[in-house]
Amino acid sequence: MRLQPEGISLHYTDTGPENSAPVLLLHGGGSSNATWARLTAELAVRGYRVIAPDLRGHGASPRSADYRLLSYHTDVDRMLTKLNLGALDVVGHSLGGYIALTVAQQAPARVRRLIVEEPAAPSQGGRRRHISRARMVLGGLRHRRFDPAAIRSVITELGQPDDTWWHRLPGITAPTLLLRGGPGSHLDQGDLAAIGRLIPHCQQITIPVGHRIHSGAPETFNAAVLTFLSTCDAGDSEEPAASRESQRPDSQEEGCPSVGAVGEADDARDGRDAASGATRDAKEAEAAVLPWVDQALQAGSRGS
């Protein structure tokens, strides 16, 4: 399906009964809605209506000359308005997690329950973060169809301090689950913990398989999401849960591949759903992105 919010014709899937409780799934940078196939199936069989767009510049959605973070947020906001979904549950990974948090900040009434997996966040207070080039590649930039300009733009903008974004986190009213990937992730786990502490009703869980938890430990991830949705009512008046942090070492069960291997295997599965030119597109995208990432990291090191 396609939806055109003010000029951008977003591709999206709409699964499950139309009148069921809606859940919005927002993928990360360099990915597509295909990454949510397993979670979509789990949610649909439980009676949820699942909306999963390809963000602009990703998957089957069109490329653009504008990849500002504001534009990603605006796309989602307009999509929700056009679909007339009302309040809904939102799940976001990485870039999608940033968008989900921003929607919850700026339109609290839209979000019933919020689940963010390794959300991207802007810098704060002028501090630069260091990102491992190798981990970024293993984390999901291979075997995918996306515009390299989108990744360049997002990395650049997230590197700029945005204290206002951080100051708005306490205004999130939805019960929130924040999932962290532990030391195998390229994201600063301290920053993620800080996000969780600032959100009034937030439970934090560490599933130590790296940045792509939904790929590295899909059964554990899906169980955490489904349990949270089934047990946490919107408007929960429990005391803030930022201090309630738990670790899920069970996600590293016997036979679980390494984080990099899992990410690549998941990328390959997602790629089977893409057009026949996906492999060629991915190689071109990787060639275009990685030299720029090296330059950005070098510049960041000089400026820190």
pLDDT tens, 185-232? 999 999 999 999 999 999 999 999 999 999 999 999 999 999 999 987
Do the domain assignments include residue 291?
no
Residue 243 pLDDT exceeds 50: no
Instruction: Give me the residue label for tokens 């990410």.
Output: 263
Res 140 pLDDT > 60: no
- The answer as to whether 184 is a domain residue is yes
Q: Is 22 a member of any domain?
A: yes
User: In which residue are the tokens 């950005």 written?
Assistant: 296
Whether 279 maps to a domain, the answer reads no
> How much is the pTM?
0.77
Interatomic CA distance for residues 15 and 18, integer angstroms: 8
CA dihedral 90, 151, 212, 15 (to 10 degrees): 40
283 inside domain: no
CA angle 88, 14, 45 (to 5 degrees): 80
Mapped onto helix, strand or coil, the DSSP state of residue 241 is coil
pLDDT (tens digit per residue) in 259-295: 222 333 343 344 343 333 433 444 444 444 444 444 4
Residue 304 is assigned to a structural domain of this protein? no
Number of domains within the chain: 1
CATH code where residue 19 lies: 3.40.50.1820
Residue 251 domain boundaries: 2-126+147-257
pLDDT higher than threshold 50 for residue 127:
yes
Side chain identity at 223, as an amino acid letter?
A
146 compared with 273, residue with greater pLDDT: 146
> Starting at the edge strand that comes first in sequence, how are the strands of the sheet with 111-117 ordered?
2-3, 10-15, 49-53, 22-26, 88-93, 111-117, 176-180, 202-206, 245-247
The answer to whether position 271 is within a domain reads: no
Q: Residue 224 and residue 227: Cα distance in Å, rounded? A: 5
